[in-house]
Homo-oligomer: A and B are copies of this chain.
Amino acid sequence: MNDIHVLPVRGIPEIETGDDLGRIICDALADLVVAQDVVVVAQKIVSKAEGRRVPAADRRDAAIAESAQILRRAGDMIISETRHGFVCANAGVDASNVPRDEVLLLPVDPDLSARRIRGAIERRLGTPVGVVVADTFGRAWRLGQTNVAIGIAGFDPFVDYRGRLDASGRELTATRICVADEIAAAAEMVMGKTSDIPVAIVRGAPVSWGRGSARAIVRPHGEDLFR
């Protein structure tokens, strides 16, 4: 295993609806990115560029409208499954780092958003990379939030050890690491919440290159013990 570097990407301006996010990210990445980096992009700027804005007054209705199924309610908050299949608070509808009269919805298809950014980087910079669109989710039994991957392009979200042998020669039976979420989590540490760093590079992650989708991370209903 090699070292991993996590690098903040500076110089991303406030993103407006309709902005060419791929071009803007390329401008900021140009002197930094190298082949096989994973570029992690905060959901917030993807949603802003895609115009996924609703009036702040409609926040609660928007969370319900964005939900495929509501799992729990607690005060003002709902825990629901989004139309993508992600289980999170308020269907990902979020007010932080957004103009005061607006809230943001998740991108309609974050995998597609990731693929578009990846395409722009390959086309403009000639650099093959992975892309993660990352959002900040809570967890059922652990306090605090961590970043997870809601969109992926260019690599398999999992490192699958099933069938491989451990150091004792015993077959690993149940270990499949969601490296995409670990990449998102690592990137969060340089992105912060009050700073203007919505993009980071994770260099050296042990990913399998190729097609990948964050939808593949969603646990199928039939295997869900906590619904």
A interface vs B, CB < 8 Å? 1-8, 71-72, 74, 79, 81, 86-87, 89, 95-100, 136, 139-148, 157-158, 161, 164-170, 172-179, 181-183, 185-186, 188-197, 204-206, 216-219, 224-226
Contact = CB atoms under 8 A, between A and B. Distances in A.
B182 A217 contact: no
A179 B189 contact: yes
B165 A194 contact: yes
Q: Which of A161, A182, A197 has the most CB of B within 10 A?
A: A182
Contacts of A143: 158, 176, 178, 216-219
Contacts of A195: 1, 167
Nearest to A56: B170
Contacts of A204: 6, 189
B193 A147 contact: no
Given A140-B224, A177-B188, A189-B205, A172 B145 contact: no
A192 B206 contact: yes
A124 to B, nearest CB: 24
A135 to B, nearest CB: 12
Q: Which of A136, A139, A148, A181 has the most CB of B within 10 A?
A: A139
Given A4-B6, A189-B179, A219-B143, A166 B97 contact: yes
A204 B192 CA distance: 13
A206 B189 contact: yes
Contacts of A6: 3-6, 186, 204
A225 B74 contact: yes
6 contacts: A1-B190, A136-B177, A141-B226, A146-B182, A146-B185, A182-B186
Contact of A146 (B3, B98, B181): B181
